[in-house]
């Protein structure tokens, strides 16, 4: 029963927190990525995942970490985004990694287009007092890509092996 609650709530809750944190502060805490990794290992243990399967999930996470840190070093994404993508890849393994990366790219493109459009509009007075909205509205400002990463993760998660116990 506890395993089922963790499967249903932990990953989605952490993804929602990552998206909201990135939206409001443009940061994703290292603790969040560590919580995702810890949650994966806890569920792998209690569900009896084989060592070979855990190793493949680790390899997927490591591959994404290396590539995403390359993107970070070029200034294309933030460090929190890189760690979030890697922690998410740990949960999905290679079986769902391509789905996740494609969805993240599509959601990221839509997010960027929406932000570009938003930045062309004048802000109403009531919104000009919100620092997080000003940060989003700033021309040439960053994109809170954690939103796209979290949305993609939530879109892919129901397809994974973590959910069949619920008939989803």
The whole-number pLDDT of residue 164 equals: 62
Whole-number Cα distances in Å, 52 to 26, 116, 147:
36, 44, 31
The whole-number pLDDT of residue 165 equals: 53
Reference 147, options 117, 118, 106, 116; nearest CA is: 106
Helix axes 51-73, 79-120, angle to 10 degrees: 50
In this predicted model, what pLDDT tens digit does every residue of 26-35 receive, in sequence order? 999 999 999 9
Q: Which two tokens stand for residue 52?
A: 């070979």
Number of domains in the chain: 1
The whole-number pLDDT of residue 168 equals: 47
The SS3 of residue 138 is coil
Residues of the chain whose pLDDT is less than 50?
A: 168
Whole-number Cα distances in Å, 8 to 49, 64, 157, 160, 166:
17, 24, 10, 12, 9
Reference 88, options 26, 144, 157, 28; nearest CA is: 157
Tell me the residue range of the domain where 103 lies. Answer: 2-166
């Amino acid at each position: 029963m506890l395993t089922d609650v963790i499967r249903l709530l932990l990953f989605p809750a952490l993804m929602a927190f990552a998206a909201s944190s990135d939206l409001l502060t443009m940061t994703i805490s290292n603790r969040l990525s560590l919580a995702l990794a810890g949650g994966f290992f806890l569920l792998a243990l209690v569900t009896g995942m084989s060592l070979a399967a855990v190793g493949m999930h680790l390899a997927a996470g490591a591959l994404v970490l290396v590539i995403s840190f390359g993107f970070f070093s070029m200034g294309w994404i933030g460090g929190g985004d890189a760690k979030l993508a890697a922690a998410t890849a740990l949960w999905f393994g290679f079986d769902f990694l391509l789905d996740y990366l494609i969805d993240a790219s599509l959601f990221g493109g839509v997010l960027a287009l929406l932000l570009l459009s938003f930045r062309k509009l004048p802000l109403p007075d009531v919104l000009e007092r919100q620092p997080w909205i000003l940060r989003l509205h700033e021309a040439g400002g960053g994109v809170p890509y954690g939103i796209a990463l979290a949305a993609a993760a939530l879109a892919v998660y129901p397809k994974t092996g973590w959910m069949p116990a619920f008939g989803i």
